[in-house]
Chains A and B, each alone.
Chain A
Amino acid sequence: MPEREENTEVAGMNVLNGNGRLLEIKDLIKYYRRGRKLITALDSVSLHVDRGEAVGLVGESGCGKSTLARLVLGLGPPDRGSILFDAADMLSLRGEALRRKRKGIQIVFQDCGSVLNPRLTVGAAITEPIANFNPPDSVCLDKKLKYLFEMVGLEKSLADRFPHQLSGGQRQRVGIARALAPEPFMLVCDEPVSSLDVSVQSQIIDLFLELKKGLKLSYLFISHDLAVVNQICDRVAVMYLGRLAEVMPVTELVSGAMHPYTQALVSAIPANNPEKRGFPCLQLRGEVLPVVERRGCLFAPRCVEAQSCCYETVPCLVEISPGHSVACHNIKEKTKTS
């Protein structure tokens, strides 16, 4: 892992103010209008990511994780709530100040092949963001490109190739290099390994881990695969139909999940051994269906432990142990009895 360059010019523009929380999301609400219906994509979501921390965002279709990622990146305003990045209110910034803050947070997509401009060589695609923010001269650019290639484990000779000439894994590395080009503090990764073959997936996971350690990067890591989140992230936030169900350290996933939905997700993971087959612990009813009335706990219709109060009142996200918050009425009962 090459040393992080001390480029004073760049450093001057990207100074990390404050300490501790790099990203702070408070009570984020986002609606979408579809015809006559108003769909709540995000319902008072609060989350934070510290410097050098990786937070996984897990949930099924309609949970709002993609919407959250988009709002965090500034691709659309929320209807309510605040987003603080690097101690600055992202929603009130405009123009040049916004651009400079935006450098600090970049995105890695699921299928980098379709995101890369097919007409640009891979080298040009990677240096495009640098040229956009603070164009140095060509010598500096070339040095930077070499540095980035090294960082993601690609051969420099590939810089003149086009995306379609590379393998899936290589394209994903290019996508990561491009995200790293403006020297961000945080990467928003939207299912970055889901479309890769298993053998390549493990290499890219390794890369993410190395980058996190070496560059002190933070991640907002969206994935449907809990096992992948387990490998890369420190904490995981489980979402269901726009609300947070549980936020917890990743180490507690296997046996410490408290929310019935998280438990269901964990139990739904197929066995890695034929002796453990059959989903013995899966307890779930039906499927994710969009709700008309957002009353009470949205998971109640599918929950095997649902009681009458679950349909009436919305459960709040409550911290039951350090770093572990759950939004479920039954938890209080459990913690009381245990």
Chain B
Amino acid sequence: MANYIINRLLQLIPVLVGVSLITFFILNLAPGDPAELMVRASGMEPTPEAVASMREELGLNYPLHVRYCLWVWHALHGDLGVSYHSGLPVARELALRFPATLQLALASSLFMILLALPAGLLSAFYNRSYIDHLSRFAALLGASMPGYWLGLILIYIFGVRLGLLPVMGSGTIKHLLLPAMTLGFGLAAVYARLLRASLLEVMGQDYIKAARARGLRERRIMLAYAFKNALLPVVTAFGMSLGHLLGGMVVVETIFSWPGVGRLSVEAIFARDYPVLQGYVLVMALVFVVVNLLVDLSYVLLNPRLRIGGGEKR
């Protein structure tokens, strides 16, 4: 078990190297001169001399591979460079925004679970009844709705009309509710359908038939016998979603002016803020791999085969 974890963590290294390399080189292919942008950003006139001196200052004159190695060296020391745009250290920029994104990701996930689990269970239990049809329709709606549209609708209802919740910024739980609901509802739609499908498949298995033959109640069969088995594919999918959530949901963050990492990355793209982008990509890759590892470990709780040496004793 410990070996497994160490193995997975070691896998991080090639992933990070690969990701950062690719990003680095692709970014440098993009048009736009960061030196010029920096000069403009600092309010000066982008004269050729100013730009040239800025280039020198930014170290843009070194060859590509040298710049990469320098960057890696600094990154290993925790220094992800300085934002071209704001002048602040990249690590600090990310550290400032990341907690907000984390908050939103967790709140959305919670909301999703509270919605999707009962919906999926009820749908599968009352398969083909009106409850099932209703829930499937709602899921279809949720999945088809663009996030920004739902966000704006919610803002209108809860913020403008009812005046219950704040619609911008962050700070209190109240601020968290609307963006979490927006994200959560879209996710819940997808996961309710997935859970339903998974449950229905499990319910068709032999051991469910055998449990019925023993006279166990249908509800108990669904909750105690089928549910755990049905969760496995759902958990895998959730791992991916969580990774994306932690990468920052740009649209939602923009609508609600949520100070998250997603907005930072998009702004950096427009500003050709390479250091920020490099840092962002690196951190996100790290987060993704760790989240997936945690998800895989949670499998162990669900599937006893992985817990105990594994393999059949035949």
Partners in one complex: yes
Q: Which residues in A have some Cβ–Cβ distance to B below 8 Å?
A: 34-35, 37, 61-62, 288-290
Task: Evaluate contact between A34 and B311: CB separation under 8 angstroms.
Answer: yes
Task: Evaluate contact between B313 and A290: CB separation under 8 angstroms.
Answer: yes
Task: Evaluate contact between A35 and B314: CB separation under 8 angstroms.
Answer: no
Q: How far is the CB of A34 from chain B (nearest CB, A)?
A: 5
CA gap between A290 and B314 in the complex, in Å: 7
Q: How far is the CB of A280 from chain B (nearest CB, A)?
A: 28
11 contacts between A and B (CB under 8 A): A34-B311, A35-B309, A35-B310, A35-B311, A37-B311, A61-B314, A62-B314, A288-B314, A289-B313, A290-B313, A290-B314
Q: How far is the CB of A61 from chain B (nearest CB, A)?
A: 5
Q: How far is the CB of A60 from chain B (nearest CB, A)?
A: 10
Residues of chain A with a CB closer than 8 A to B311's CB: 34-35, 37
Tell me the chain B residues, 286-314 only, with Cβ under 8 Å from chain A. 309-311, 313-314
Residues of chain A with a CB closer than 8 A to B314's CB: 61-62, 288, 290
Q: How far is the CB of A59 from chain B (nearest CB, A)?
A: 13
CA gap between A61 and B311 in the complex, in Å: 15
Nearest B-chain residue to A60, judged by Cβ: B314
Q: Which residues in B have some Cβ–Cβ distance to A below 8 Å?
A: 309-311, 313-314
CA gap between A134 and B14 in the complex, in Å: 47
Given contacts A35-B311, A61-B314, A289-B313, 8 further A-B contacts (CB under 8 A): A34-B311, A35-B309, A35-B310, A37-B311, A62-B314, A288-B314, A290-B313, A290-B314
Residues of chain B with a CB closer than 8 A to A34's CB: 311
CA gap between A289 and B312 in the complex, in Å: 11
CA gap between A288 and B313 in the complex, in Å: 10
Residues of chain A with a CB closer than 8 A to B310's CB: 35
CA gap between A264 and B213 in the complex, in Å: 35
CA gap between A290 and B310 in the complex, in Å: 14
CA gap between A73 and B309 in the complex, in Å: 32
CA gap between A61 and B314 in the complex, in Å: 7
CA gap between A62 and B310 in the complex, in Å: 17
CA gap between A62 and B314 in the complex, in Å: 7
Q: How far is the CB of A290 from chain B (nearest CB, A)?
A: 7
Q: How far is the CB of B43 from chain A (nearest CB, A)?
A: 64
Q: Pick the 9 closest A-B CB pairs, nearest first.
A: A61-B314, A34-B311, A62-B314, A35-B310, A35-B311, A35-B309, A290-B313, A289-B313, A290-B314
CA gap between A62 and B313 in the complex, in Å: 10
Residues of chain B with a CB closer than 8 A to A62's CB: 314
Residues of chain B with a CB closer than 8 A to A288's CB: 314
CA gap between A62 and B309 in the complex, in Å: 19
Q: How far is the CB of A240 from chain B (nearest CB, A)?
A: 14
Residues of chain B with a CB closer than 8 A to A290's CB: 313-314
Nearest A-chain residue to B310, judged by Cβ: A35
Nearest A-chain residue to B309, judged by Cβ: A35
CA gap between A288 and B312 in the complex, in Å: 13
Q: How far is the CB of A29 from chain B (nearest CB, A)?
A: 21
Q: How far is the CB of B96 from chain A (nearest CB, A)?
A: 45
CA gap between A34 and B311 in the complex, in Å: 8
Nearest B-chain residue to A37, judged by Cβ: B311
Nearest A-chain residue to B311, judged by Cβ: A34
Q: How far is the CB of A114 from chain B (nearest CB, A)?
A: 19
Q: How far is the CB of A298 from chain B (nearest CB, A)?
A: 15
Residues of chain B with a CB closer than 8 A to A289's CB: 313
Nearest A-chain residue to B314, judged by Cβ: A61
CA gap between A148 and B311 in the complex, in Å: 43
Q: How far is the CB of B102 from chain A (nearest CB, A)?
A: 36
CA gap between A16 and B283 in the complex, in Å: 66
CA gap between A56 and B311 in the complex, in Å: 29
The residue in B310, B311, B313 that gathers the most chain A C-beta atoms within 10 A of its C-beta is: B311
Residues of chain A with a CB closer than 8 A to B313's CB: 289-290
Residues of chain B with a CB closer than 8 A to A61's CB: 314
Q: How far is the CB of A33 from chain B (nearest CB, A)?
A: 11
CA gap between A12 and B311 in the complex, in Å: 48
Residues of chain B with a CB closer than 8 A to A37's CB: 311
Q: How far is the CB of A156 from chain B (nearest CB, A)?
A: 40
Q: How far is the CB of A35 from chain B (nearest CB, A)?
A: 6
CA gap between A204 and B56 in the complex, in Å: 85
The residue in B309, B313, B314 that gathers the most chain A C-beta atoms within 10 A of its C-beta is: B314
Residues of chain B with a CB closer than 8 A to A35's CB: 309-311
CA gap between A37 and B309 in the complex, in Å: 10
CA gap between A34 and B313 in the complex, in Å: 12
CA gap between A34 and B310 in the complex, in Å: 9
CA gap between A110 and B313 in the complex, in Å: 23
Q: How far is the CB of A319 from chain B (nearest CB, A)?
A: 32
Nearest B-chain residue to A289, judged by Cβ: B313
CA gap between A142 and B70 in the complex, in Å: 71
CA gap between A35 and B305 in the complex, in Å: 13
CA gap between A289 and B314 in the complex, in Å: 6
CA gap between A35 and B310 in the complex, in Å: 8
CA gap between A97 and B314 in the complex, in Å: 39
Q: How far is the CB of B98 from chain A (nearest CB, A)?
A: 38
CA gap between A289 and B313 in the complex, in Å: 7
CA gap between A88 and B9 in the complex, in Å: 49
Nearest B-chain residue to A290, judged by Cβ: B313
CA gap between A35 and B307 in the complex, in Å: 13
